Amino acid sequence: MSVSAAATAAFTEAYGTEPAGLWAAPGRVNLIGEHTDYNDGFVLPFALPQRTVAAVGPAPDGRWSVCSTLTPDPVTFGVTEPGEVTGWGAYVAGVVWALRDAGFEVPPVRIALASDVPLGSGLSSSAALESSVLTALIDLGGLDVPLERRPALAQRAENVYVGAPTGILDQSASIRCQEGRALFLDCRSYRIEQIPFDLAAEGLAILVINSNAPHQHVDGEYGERRKSCEAAAAALGVPALRDVSTAELDDALRRLDDDVLRRRARHIVTENQRVLDTVSLLRSGRVREIGPLLTASHASMRDDFEITVAQVDVAVQSALEAGAYGARMTGGGFGGCVLALIDADRAEATAAAVAGAYEERGFTAPTSWVAVAGPGATAL
Ligand code: GAF
């Protein structure tokens, strides 16, 4: 059954009527630029074809209800404040709250969700959920919310209502990405550039390898990294680490007296530059040449930002040994997925090499697929 059919069936089953419409929003792969978003820096995600579909219809009782294929019993709530709805329903209540808090009249609706975005794998399943619901509420309510404002509303739902201190990467990707493009986003100005990203035309592919490693300590470690970056920026007297260039890096590192802060800052400053270098290469069609930047990004996340785990390091290493031009973990870290830039005809061989390396080490088997850049959030 397609994801749309699953969402429609869940809606009918839960509410005994047909939905008024379907809205979809994708997960994402971040090509490069990790943990740079909350440092006012640069990111370069593209949308996955995998997405969350929200089947939505009016709610006669004036409240909001949401269920999913995984949780068929609806969670129902009225007007709430952060903290009042907990668990996964908080992502939906948070979107309603963020829109209302911004002054919009939000229509009461019933929602059923279905998704083929792998959960908890660093592919932004929560942003896909938020963005599908946000888009549905905006369309059904006839709300005047321009596209460029939407990611910050979904991010606020996550930051303030759900309580996760994430940046704006995932919601921007889910809402603003376009098919066949990577989204170059300046997380300070929200300026975007849609970068053509048609790898098949170059005989290339991005292989996504889900490490299937259990996520551990994700929330606490993420918050720690964010605090370290803010502390480093404060010690250097700049608004954010975005304001330190690679030319100024050595001097900045000398001025930080804490080795952990030094390494965290070095990751962010060099990662921002790697995004800019990747964008320059893509703009001039030199796609293969981004490989070493991807691999350098991984080394920086492993050694300086310390957010990788053995499974993702092994996936990167074995993809490179199998001939990948470059490979890196994508997403927040502590598990999740790796992407590898490969010749299109090497997908099976690369996936098999990684699977073999996992088997040797007794890791849970990985799951791999070729990802192409899909569309952003939309009514279906
Ligand atoms: C997670 C967060 F939600 C993003 O905001 C971003 O910081 C990412 O980790 C790391 O680049 O996905």
- Say how many C-beta atoms besides its own lie within 10 A of residue 199's C-beta: 19
Structure tokens at 107: 């229509």
Provide the pLDDT confidence category of residue 165 given band limits of 50, 70 and 90: very high
Count of the separate structural domains present in the chain: 2
- Whether residue 380 is contained in a domain is answered as no
User: Do 166 and 219 have their domain in common?
Assistant: no
Residue nearest to atom 9 of ligand 1 (CA): 332
Same-domain pairing of 242 and 358: yes
Tokens of 274: 């790697």
Cα of 331 vs centre of ligand 1, distance in Å, is 6
Query: What is the CB < 6 Å shell around ligand 1?
Result: 30, 34-35, 37-38, 166-167, 169-170, 331-332
Residue 378 lies in a domain: no
Pocket test for ligand 1, best of 30, 34, 37 (most atoms within 8 A of CB): 37
pLDDT band at 120 (very low <50, low <70, confident <90, very high): confident
pLDDT digits (tens, 9 = 90+) for 310-345: 999 999 999 999 999 999 999 999 999 999 999 999
Task: Determine what percent of the chain is predicted with pLDDT higher than 90.
Answer: 97
Tokens encoding 262: 């030094």
140 in any annotated domain: yes
| Rounded (to 5) percent helix, strand, coil in the chain | 45, 20, 35
Short-list 199, 147, 161, 153, CA closest to 82: 161
Indicate the pLDDT class of residue 53, thresholds 50, 70 and 90: very high
Q: 218 and 259 in one domain?
A: yes
Q: How many whole angstroms from 168 Cα to the centroid of ligand 1?
A: 7
List C-alpha distances in Å: 212 to 284, 311, 367.
35, 8, 7
Do 205 and 337 lie in one domain? The reply is yes
Whether residue 376 is contained in a domain is answered as: no
Instruction: Give the residue among 145, 192, 198 at the shortest CA–CA distance from 168.
Output: 192
Tell me if 93 is assigned to some domain: yes
Of 164, 196, 228, the residue at which a domain comes to its end is 196
Calculate how far, in angstroms, residue 43's C-alpha sits from the geometric centre of ligand 1: 10
Please tell me the distance between residue 107's alpha carbon and the centre of ligand 1 in angstroms.
30
Question: Is residue 145 domain-shared with residue 254, that is, in the same domain?
Answer: no
The average confidence (pLDDT) of the chain is 97
**Distance separating alpha carbons of residues 39 and 225, to the nearest angstrom:** 11
Q: Take atom 2 of ligand 1 and give the residue whose Cα is closest.
A: 166
Q: Are 124 and 170 in contact (CB under 8 A)?
A: yes
* Residue 324 placed within a domain: yes
| Assembly ipTM | 0.99
Confidence of residue 215 (pLDDT cuts 50, 70, 90): confident
- In whole angstroms, what is the distance from residue 355 CA to residue 346 CA? 14
Q: Same structural domain for residues 165 and 185?
A: yes
Probe target for ligand 1 pocket from 126, 166, 267, 308, with the most ligand atoms within 8 Å of CB:
166
CATH number of the domain at 338, please.
3.30.70.890
- Say whether pLDDT at 218 is over 70: no
Question: Do 188 and 213 lie in a common domain?
Answer: no
Query: Which amino acid makes up residue 54?
Result: A
254: Cβ–Cβ under 8 A, 6 or more apart, which residues? none
Q: What DSSP string describes 211-242?
A: --PPP-SHHHHHHHHHHHHHHHHHHHT-SSGG
Q: List all residues 6 or more positions away from 331 whose beta carbon is below 8 Å from its beta carbon.
A: 30, 34, 121, 122, 123, 124, 337
Token look-up 């579909």 returns 53
Å from CA of 220 to ligand 1 middle: 13
Pair (163, 229) in one structural domain = no
Range of the domain at 11: 3-196
CA angle 175/335/181 to nearest 5° reads: 30
Residue 332 CA: which ligand 1 atom is closest? 9
User: Atom of ligand 1 at shortest distance to CA of 158?
Assistant: 3
Length of the chain: 380
Give the pLDDT score at 217.
Answer: 57
Alpha carbon distance 219, 178 (integer Å): 29
In this predicted structure, what is the pLDDT of residue 83?
A: 93
Please identify, among 142, 165, 196, the residue that sits at the C-terminal boundary of a domain.
Answer: 196
Give domain status of residue 109, yes or no.
yes
Q: Does the pLDDT value for residue 309 go beyond 90?
A: yes
Taking CA atoms only, the protein residue closest to ligand 1 atom 5 is 167
Q: Which residues are catalytic?
A: 170
Ligand 1 centroid distance, CA of 5 (Å): 30
Question: Cβ contacts of residue 256 below 8 Å, gap of 6+?
Answer: 232, 235, 236, 262, 265
49 plus 159 within the same structural domain: yes
Separation CA 187–CA 169 (nearest Å): 8
Closest ligand 1 atom to residue 222 Cα is 9
Condensed to tens digits (0 to 9), the pLDDT of residues 2-33 reads 999 999 999 999 999 999 999 999 999 999 99
Query: Residues 286, 323: one domain?
Result: yes
Mean pLDDT of 164-186: 97
pLDDT at 166 over 80: yes
Neighbouring CB atoms inside 10 A of 74's CB total 18
Interval 185-189 mean pLDDT: 98
pTM of the full structure:
0.97
Predicted pLDDT of residue 290: 98
Asked if residue 379 is part of any domain, the answer here is no
Neighbour order of strands in the sheet with 181-186: 42-43, 181-186, 192-196
Mean pLDDT value of segment 101-119: 97
Co-location of 185 and 210 in the same domain: no
From 180, 196, 212, give the residue that closes a domain: 196
Lowest mean pLDDT among 135-139, 211-215, 340-344, 349-353: 211-215
The number of the ligand 1 atom at minimal distance from the alpha carbon of 33 is 11
Statement to judge: residues 166 and 131 lie in one domain: yes
CA of 186 to the centre of ligand 1 (A): 14
Domain CATH code at residue 171 = 3.30.230.10
Cα 192 off chain centre by: 16
* Atom from ligand 1 closest to the CA of residue 164: 3
pLDDT at 216: 65
Residues 131, 135, 141, 144: is their CA dihedral positive or negative? positive
Q: Does 224 score more than 90 pLDDT?
A: yes
